[in-house]
Amino acid sequence: MNVYDLILKKRNGGCLSKEEITYLIMGYTNGQIPDYQMSAFLMAVYFRGMNPQETLDLTMAMADSGERLDLSGIEGIKVDKHSTGGVGDKTSLILGPMLAVLGIPVAKMSGRGLGHTGGTIDKLESIEGFRTSLSKEAFINNVNQIKLAIVGQTANLAPADKKIYALRDVTATVDNMSLIASSIMSKKLAAGADVLVLDVKTGTGAFMKTQEEAEQLARTMVQIGTMAGKKTYAVITDMNEPLGTMVGNALEVQEAISVLQGKGEARLTEVVYTLAAYMVLGAKRAATIEEAKKMLQETITSGAALRKFAEFVEAQGGNPEYIYHPELFPQAAWKEPVYPKADGYLVGCENQQVGMASLILGGGRVTKDSVIDLTVGIQLNKHLGDDVTTTEPFAYIYGNDRQKIEEAKERLQGAYRIEREYQAPQAVIRSVITEE
């Protein structure tokens, strides 16, 4: 095969075969195809698009470019969840223990955050002793024993995606649906779960700013998953404001504990129950979403989900006392109130700016080598639709640097729009995409 001919074929609107796509992906991954030719191919895809079969073949080629996690040693139907990312998203920490109580195995590989907050792995590292790296044997054993393990993503999982994404990032070819969907799904398919539930965010704090874009991405990913033989659901959720009340690593783990105690903020709780219910449905443990939600509710009211979280932490070397005594978590030096600049109702939020406030405090990474301050973050006392006054804090900032606290405070105040007239906030669950 000739790379030039394949670029020309796609540039002219042709469809590539599975063999041709595999040749391109493997050739680029192993260094035989140079950056300039892959850049040309990506630009051709950007303008000409890919049909569903090409998108699937691209996804599978990237999934096959490195190690594929073999979960056959785990009993039962394995479920996994992926989020497209957002501010305050700590759902994995909550739904994992709930599903494990129901006997549904959750074998999850998570990444570290690059941006305004840490990823699931960073958050878990705020627990003393917690190990985010396990041997394959220990990983599978933990899932079989307690039905839950969460570890850091291995470097050799879909290496083609990592290399291609870096190229897309500097060649203005990021925002193409086939390329976005195949990037996400290649890693999820390589991770080996039987059932995938995708949390696709939309709004000011999401990659997909409009619901139409979010639904297009969701449909593409569900189609890939289904064609690959995986039961796949996508839930479109609102990210026009942070999810829950806490933004920051140790703070978000504490909020997750609060939800497991039955004291969670309403929007966060609704997202958790919806995502988890589709995972229960996919695992064939319930016939309807309503039945699944009742089963999940019982894991909270009985206290079993909280106990399971502590068991999971202990199984990975962490101190389980943190789960029962959240005051043990590392604390920031200062907790500073943030007052709104006017009286009225919170009617809008530039959610990305809330994330930037957390980043200023040190709660995220500017580069992959940045060191995260696990103690800093933001507590939100008010949400969209709530009334505020200049005499009452609508948020608190946790920080260790006075100058950074003041910068973050200003950024946070500027993130919210306040008006005299009440406006109802968007529903947090926008829609659900399935192949059924």
> pLDDT tens-digit profile of 1-46?
899 999 999 999 999 999 999 999 999 999 999 999 999 999 999 9
Residue 263 pLDDT:
95
**Angle, alpha carbons 334-338-343 (nearest 5°):** 165
pLDDT of residue 102: 98
* Order of all β-strands in the sheet with 344-349: 387-388, 344-349, 416-419
The answer, yes or no, to whether residue 129 has pLDDT greater than 60, is yes
Question: Does pLDDT of 370 surpass 80?
Answer: no
The pLDDT of residue 368 is above 80 = no
Report the candidate in 233, 179, 204, 235 with the shortest Cα–Cα distance to residue 87.
Answer: 204
Kindly tell me if the per-residue pLDDT of 340 is higher than 80. Answer: yes
Identify the band that residue 114 occupies on the pLDDT scale cut at 50, 70 and 90: low
- Residue 138, pLDDT score: 94
Options 187, 267, 365, 409, the catalytic residue: 187
Q: How many CA atoms lie within 13 A of 199 on its CB side?
A: 29
Instruction: Please pick, among 57, 122, 161, 373, the residue that the annotation labels catalytic.
Output: 161
168 is catalytic: yes
Catalytic residue, from 147, 168, 308, 409: name it: 168
pLDDT at 113: 62
- Concerning whether 135 is annotated as a catalytic residue, the answer is no
Domain ranges of the chain: 3-49, 79-156+190-325, 332-419
83 a catalytic residue: no
Using alpha carbons, select from 206, 227, 200, 211 the residue that is nearest to residue 50: 227
What is the structure's pLDDT at 266? 95
Distance CA(326)–CA(401), nearest Å, equals: 23
Rounded percentage of the chain residues whose pLDDT exceeds 70: 98
64 in active site: no
Q: Which CATH superfamily is domain 332-419 in?
A: Pyrimidine nucleoside phosphorylase-like, C-terminal domain (3.90.1170.30)
Q: How high does pLDDT run on average in the chain?
A: 94
Q: Is 409 a catalytic residue?
A: no
Among the listed residues 183, 186, 258, 358, the single catalytic one is 183
Specify whether the CB–CB gap between 148 and 97 falls below 8 A: yes
Query: Is CATH 1.20.970.10 the classification given to domain 3-49?
Result: yes
Q: What gap in Å lies between CA 401 and CA 130, rounded to an integer?
A: 27
Architecture of domain 79-156+190-325: 3-Layer(aba) Sandwich (3.40)
The percent of residues in the chain predicted with pLDDT above 90, rounded, is 88
pTM beyond 0.85: the answer is yes
